[in-house]
Amino acid sequence: MSQVLAVLASVLYGIGDFAGGLGARKMTPWSVTVWSLLLALPLVFVGLFIVGWDEVTTADIGYGAVAGVFGFIGIVALYGALAAGTMSIVSPMTGALIALIPVVWGLVAGETISGRQWIGIVVAIIAITLVAWDRTHAKLTPAVMLTGLVAAVALSGFFIALDHTAEASGQWPLVVENAVALGLGFVVLVFRKELSPPPREALPVIAVAGNGTVAASMSALLALQTGPLGITVVLTSIYPAFTVIAAVIVLHERPTVMQRGGIVLALVAAALLVA
């Protein structure tokens, strides 16, 4: 069940990231992140009461707060990289690192991975790499690459922090995570003098970004609380395939043969890791 939830999270993250990248072309990544989280706040509380909880410890709250810091930094950096670079290149580049870092962390922490799962992990990383392979005519400057690296490290920290929360706490860690992220975000907006609400025409895109990302995080949290960190995050990190599909449909970006092969391999990896 945890693997299915992780795949669902990857689909939702892919859609949310695509919408966030579009929104960041009209506003700053800081504004898009804060307003998208605010528009998704009702969904956070709906999820809280649907899932329910048995016991919430100080540790759960603490790890939720840490996830909020990492998540805010990661989303801002990712939206900035997606807005400045070619989406079908930036998204897989960050996804590959997000897949790799938690796997290494989980192995160090004592997680065990079966032979079939190792094959699935290798196929997933190859898939993400293929999707990012062709950089011809891609806007991939050193600044964009650095921003993508920051996003990958921060979002890896987000997943690792949530992995330390207990299943009994339900969605409370995510409530704390969103509260911390929103608090940090509004402090930044005050400092940057960007408190003006988003333009009306940008609201649908921002709402999709926020609700897609929050729904994905809800699914990912349930998967992390019931399954291994490494496998869960690798499955979740297949999200670039769905960002690329959205970019092809909406922006008419043309995937190369390698990118198409990468999308197919991503589905194969998902099948190997879910089976």
- Can you tell me the distance from the alpha carbon of 150 to that of 153, in angstroms, rounded to the nearest whole number? 5
Could you tell me the two tokens for 214?
């929050």
pTM metric for this prediction: 0.83
- Cβ-proximal residues to 133 (8 Å cutoff; 6+ apart), any chain: 256, 258, 259, 262
Contact 122, 70 (CB under 8 A): no
Contact 240, 14 (CB under 8 A): yes
In this prediction, residues 231-250 reach a mean pLDDT of 80
More confident residue, 87 or 191: 191
Least confident of 38-52, 66-80, 109-123, 130-144: 130-144
CA atoms within 13 A on the CB side of 194: 18
Residue 168 has pLDDT above 90, yes or no: yes
pLDDT of residue 64: 96
Average model confidence (pLDDT) across the chain = 83
More confident residue, 39 or 148: 39
Domain ranges of the chain: 2-274
Query: Among residues of the chain, what percentage have pLDDT more than 70?
Result: 88
pLDDT of residue 137: 45
Q: What is the pLDDT of residues 22-32, one digit of tens each?
A: 887 778 888 88
Residue 157 has pLDDT above 80, yes or no: yes
Residue 240 has pLDDT above 60, yes or no: yes
Q: What is the pLDDT of residues 182-229, one digit of tens each?
A: 999 999 999 988 888 888 888 899 999 999 999 999 999 999 998 888
